[in-house]
Amino acid sequence: MNKKIFKLLGATALTLAFAANATAQTRGGTLTAIIQPEPVILTSALNTAAPTGFFSANVFDGLVEYDNDFKLRPALAESWDVSKDSKTLTFHLRKGVKWHDGKPFTSADVKWTLENVWKKIHPRNQIIYGTVTGVDTPDDYTVIIRFSEPSLAVLSSLNSNGAQVLPKHLYEGTDILNNPYNNKPVGTGPFVFKEWSKGNYITLERNPNYWDKSKGVSKPYLDKIIFKVVPDAGARAAALEKGEAQYAPFSPVPLKDAERLAKLPGLKLETRGYDWISPWLFLDVNVDRPYFKDVRVRQALAYAIDLNAFNKVVWYGFGKPAVSPVVSTLKQFYTDDVPKYGYDPKKAEALLDEAGLKRGADGTRLRINLDYLPYGDDYKRSGEYIKQALKRIGIDVNVRAQDTPTYTKRVYGDRDYDLSVVWFAGFADPLVGVTRAYWSDSIGKNIPWSNGSGYRSAEADKLIEQAQSSSSQTERVALFKKLQQRVQTDLPSIPLLELHFFTVQAANLKDTVTGVDQIYSSLKNAWFDNTAKVAKAAP
Amino acid sequence: MKINNVVIRRLLQLVSVALGVAVINFFLLRLAPGDAAQVLAGEAGAATPEYMAALRAQFGLDQPLLVQFGKYLLNLAHFNLGYSFRHGMPVAQLIGERVPATLLLMGASILFAVVAGATLGAIAAYRAGKIADVVISTLALVFFATPLFWIGLMLVVVFSVWLDWLPVGGMFTIEAGYTGWAHIVDVARHLVLPAVTLGLFYMAVYTRLMRATMVEVRRQDFVRTAVAKGARPPRVLFAHVLRNALLPLVTMLGVQVSSIIGGAVLVETVFSWPGLGRLAFEALFQRDFNLLLGILLCSSIVVIVVNWVVDFVYTRLDPRIRFS
């Protein structure tokens, strides 16, 4: 099968994108966005934290972009081919692209970044590029990547977040993680870095030489973007309400404030643009605990939680009950043909009785602790809801709070926990984000966001390894569906919700979402519709 | 000669206290579970053993604790506060960038607390038992008892969102790019709410303190003598009553200056003020110990120096007290 078809799809998507923008975009304006927490460094090739990714894509392009259907769209690479055995990947790079310091962008930059950063440092990419045996650059605009085994997941992770190209001429021979350009990035992207006042703001200015021009329109439309650091949620809500900031991603205000803000005339709530992250919330069960070794006890936990009510009460409907760790928006990989555990407390109690956990004299079967991801109130309330739900079936839960390093060490290092509420990003290919929760190789090695349950299944491990190196996408899809059935049968962790994050933005800020990975891609298409604002102000 | 002795003794005291603080903090902070690499990997949302190892090497965390401690002491001996690997900057530079914002906020809030507190306290004392006294004392009690962050949020809701008089947060309007006088006015507008929020608690303390001492001082014989010899009321107030009533206020002022970094954490967070308090708070959660040690060391020196100043002011206010 020749995969040139990707090129065709990309080209079609591009035309469609232009046709859709019938209204004329206005150039100019300064966008004030809220970035929270403040990024550590400004290059997401070295740190994949959400705020860094949100910022960094404006300065750096990816090799490709993703459209609203997970299809690839050309960016720094104009086209790409995958060989018949899926072991060779060729990129044809865009000509005439310049780094912000004026040096030309070439295949040498891609080769250097792949060999030194994606393969060695990038926290997610090692599973994708680990089997690279060589990178050839026959000319300045061609990159040929050779793998020892097929690595089809690579196609899901070629945007600015997954494959950010760093300028070789500024990084080669330096201590990469301590390179000063991590804090004053030089990219090829639509906006040029100006200033970072720590704890305060970061400013970007329009790149006048940006490559993305067609039909006389040159992107980006905005003149300037200011990323403000606003640490307090109440202050973020006030700043948005007053119009001091016009764009705030990653659920910037508490869920209970979101609805109120959405009703204000100048603001709107946007839930698109997060699909590439494929986030799912789950309850990790420490299967090394003697009382959780029995699968019936784990199933009882699942039967005891009413996910619809949980979604409504705790998450204000910003989620969807999950049936599998692969979210339903990943249509290709998702299957609902898995064992399901609908709300049934009676069955839960029966299972616990069967497993020998009888109610004691005080009605309690078991006393355990629950730790939640310390990322805010929503996770705390999730833990409290589960405490109430489990109390009904005779399990007494103590909810514990701690800070993030304590939490990750407890779950992934010391493994000194019973239950934990956490979300993972599954990403566009389950190999990148989902399998890490089940692969037995990472247990107890103190690696944050890996296999926290301690689940060891030879079958699951084998399915994951096969999916990693399979050369056929059809086969990979079948393997991932089998994996979902396996883990939903063994239930080392209980999927709770597919999370719907949201962005609060000014209503007159247009075209902020042009792909499934929008929050990790640039705002080059965004523009202020000043006519709408005037019309609204008139009455 | 005598003065020299005092200076040398005080300096020795400063060095030993600062060193003690540094050593205790160094080991105390290591008791917190997890390290900076774990925080970074946690934030990254994904990690591999190779990534963790690279981060630990970058932070120097792969070395034995005693080696790290030795390096830290060696740095201190060279007046070097070390390097924050998380921020990719020397600690001294990070602190230096944040100090002006914090000094401005501290200065404004202390000025507000002292002036408003002393004035209100004096009015209350002169009108003891009357309506003005009741109103002032009640307000003082309310501000004394209300949590800082709540006052801050309420001020934002009222003065920024409803009335739209003042900005929500930040230190200046970045978008406008003001310079010169316009910039100063802009910063002042941003300063009002955080300075008032940070100052209100101590204003309440000063009001109560001032009222109590003034009521007491006014009953003293020397005040009666001053009035009897025909001194005008303003002179009685400033030369006789106020000067004697100021001593406890100066003591509290020393306490306020020393404790203000703690209060600044909350206020700087609520008002997005780019100051030192927030930097310290974040450094703790990020396990950025070089930075946190630097800030703690600097603030311990500030506390010691402020105590000297307070001692010195005592001697000016009350000649019976000697500076030794």
How many cross-chain Cβ pairs, A to B, lie less than 8 Å apart?
168
Residue A11: pLDDT band by 50, 70, 90 thresholds? Answer: very low
> How far away is chain A from the Cα of B201, in angstroms, using its nearest Cα?
21
Tell me the chain B residues in contact with residue A449 when contact means C-beta distances shorter than 8 Å: 42, 45-47
Question: Closest to A201 (Cβ–Cβ): which among B38, B174, B285?
Answer: B174
- The verdict on residue B161 lying in a domain is yes
Please tell me whether residues B244 and B132 are part of one structural domain: yes
- What is the reported pLDDT for A23? 56
Average pLDDT, chain A: 89
Find which of A198, A227, A247 to mutate to test the B interface (most B CBs within 10 Å of its CB): A198
- The verdict on residue B253 lying in a domain is yes
Q: Tell which residue, A56, A404, A409, has the closest CA to residue A204.
A: A56
Please tell me whether residues B10 and B65 are part of one structural domain: yes
Domain region containing B14: 2-90
Please tell me whether residues B76 and B113 are part of one structural domain: no
Is B174 in contact with A403 (Cβ distance < 8 A)?
no
Residue A391: pLDDT band by 50, 70, 90 thresholds? Answer: very high
| pLDDT at residue A39 is higher than 80 | yes
Question: Closest to B50 (Cβ–Cβ): which among A32, A126, A197?
Answer: A126
Site of tokens 């005291």: B13
- The verdict on residue B175 lying in a domain is yes
Q: Tell which residue, A364, A360, A415, has the closest CA to residue A393.
A: A364
Contact A519, A250 (CB under 8 A): yes
d(CA B267, CA B168): 12
| pLDDT at residue A17 is higher than 80 | no
Is B85 in contact with A41 (Cβ distance < 8 A)?
no
More confident site: A110 or B254: A110
The ipTM, to two decimals, is: 0.81
Please tell me whether residues B182 and B251 are part of one structural domain: yes
Please tell me whether residues B126 and B64 are part of one structural domain: no
Is A436 in contact with B46 (Cβ distance < 8 A)?
yes
Q: Cα B191–B194–B198 angle (5° rounding)?
A: 130
Tell me the chain B residues in contact with residue A175 when contact means C-beta distances shorter than 8 Å: 58
- The verdict on residue B291 lying in a domain is no
Q: State the pTM of this model.
A: 0.85
- The verdict on residue B296 lying in a domain is no
Question: Closest to B47 (Cβ–Cβ): which among A239, A425, A448?
Answer: A448
- What is the reported pLDDT for A532? 57
Find which of A54, A447, A450, A519 to mutate to test the B interface (most B CBs within 10 Å of its CB): A447
d(CA B195, CA B110): 8
Tell me the chain A residues in contact with residue B170 when contact means C-beta distances shorter than 8 Å: 200-201, 228, 230
> How far away is chain A from the Cα of B204, in angstroms, using its nearest Cα?
25
Please tell me whether residues B144 and B266 are part of one structural domain: yes
Boundary-marking domain end, from B56, B72, B90 = B90
Is B174 in contact with A425 (Cβ distance < 8 A)?
no
Q: What is the average pLDDT across A408-433?
A: 92
pLDDT tens per residue across span A260-275: 899 999 999 999 999 9
d(CA A370, CA A418): 6
Helix B289-317 crosses helix B276-285 at what angle (to 10 degrees)? Answer: 140
Residue A81: pLDDT band by 50, 70, 90 thresholds? Answer: very high
Q: Cα A418–A424–A429 angle (5° rounding)?
A: 135
- What is the reported pLDDT for A245? 93
Please tell me whether residues B84 and B126 are part of one structural domain: no
- The verdict on residue B166 lying in a domain is yes
Residue A3: pLDDT band by 50, 70, 90 thresholds? Answer: very low
Please tell me whether residues B67 and B47 are part of one structural domain: yes
Q: Which residues pair with A284 in a beta bridge?
A: A420, A493
Please tell me whether residues B240 and B214 are part of one structural domain: yes
Please tell me whether residues B108 and B230 are part of one structural domain: yes
Is B38 in contact with A408 (Cβ distance < 8 A)?
yes
Is A198 in contact with B87 (Cβ distance < 8 A)?
yes
The count of structural domains within chain B is 2
- What is the reported pLDDT for A397? 95
H, E, C per residue of A137-181: CCCCCEEEEEECCCCHHHHHCCCCCCCCCCCHHHHCCCCHHHCHH
- What is the reported pLDDT for A20? 46
Taking 70 as the pLDDT cut, the residues of chain B under it are 1-3, 322-324
CATH code of B261's domain:
1.10.3720.10
Please tell me whether residues B176 and B79 are part of one structural domain: no
Please tell me whether residues B259 and B159 are part of one structural domain: yes
